[in-house]
Amino acid sequence: MIVYRHADPRFPFLWESAGQPPARWHGPGEGPVQYFADTPDGAWAEFLRHEGITKESELVNVRRALWAVEVPDDLPAEAPGLAEPVLTGGLGTYEECRKEARRLRGAGATALRAPSAALLPGGARGWKVDGGLQPASERGGTVLAVFGARPDFVGWMAAFAARPRSDLLPRVRHL
């Protein structure tokens, strides 16, 4: 299975230490947790949401690497037992998500799969060629959070010093 993540191009695409800054599915010292999106738009949306980028003019200085990462097709991923507003909520919902991730890890989970908090419903649409470039059908995005260091994952840098298209901005659930 191929998943996507953005990263500062100066650094590796995965975290290796517990020194990772906290995020939705892990608190301070609970890392590493590897966060992936099922589409490139989802990976870019996560970046835009967390950086507070809402305007096209703010994209001009974005320079990120976009990675395509191969993870095992049979990687078991649990579904968090939380309501949609919590799964897709803002910073105020993070502690509830972290508590659920701790519960899942304590029960032996190695990963979880949840709806993308950064993409609005239907925001993960791609493109097709049919009389020129056309938007493909809308679909929801998902996020995969994998607990622990994963030296077995292989990544390919799909873009270096890149930025997302401006038409993604209205499909982002901003903080």
- Give 127-136 pLDDT, tens digit per residue: 999 999 999 9
**What values do phi and psi take at 46, rounded to 5?**
-60, -45
Q: What is the mean pLDDT of the chain?
A: 96
Give the pLDDT of residue 169: 97
**What values do phi and psi take at 23, rounded to 5?**
-150, -165
d(CA 103, CA 120): 27
| pLDDT tens string 7-22 | 999 999 999 999 999 9
Contact 166, 56 (CB under 8 A): yes
